[in-house]
Amino acid sequence: MAILKVMLEGARERAIAENDLETMCLIMSIGNDVTETFLRARADDAMINKRLTGMRNDLTACLALLYNRR
């Protein structure tokens, strides 16, 4: 999870500096997939489930920005 945070922060900085939403949305999508896989092993973890819900909302917002920009 720590490496995902580093990647996401780098993607966020790049998105701001270079208007690169594609990379940011891609990293967010990877984060969602990794978290879903982790949650399958710990289905009863309410904190991770809540985090995943927030991550999905963030990804939806990122994709909306990306598609509305075109």
The predicted structure's pLDDT at residue 1: 65
Q: How confident is the model at residue 56 (pLDDT cuts 50, 70, 90)?
A: very high
The predicted structure's pLDDT at residue 65: 92
pLDDT at residue 70 tops 80: no
pTM for the predicted model, two decimal places: 0.78
Q: Are 25 and 35 in contact (CB under 8 A)?
A: no
Long-range contacts of 13-22 (CB under 8 A, 24+ apart): 21/62, 21/65, 21/66, 21/69, 22/66
The predicted structure's pLDDT at residue 3: 77
pLDDT in tens, 23-54: 889 888 988 998 999 889 988 899 999 999 99
Q: Exposed e or buried b for every residue in 59-68, given b needs 16+ CB within 10 A?
A: beebeeeeee
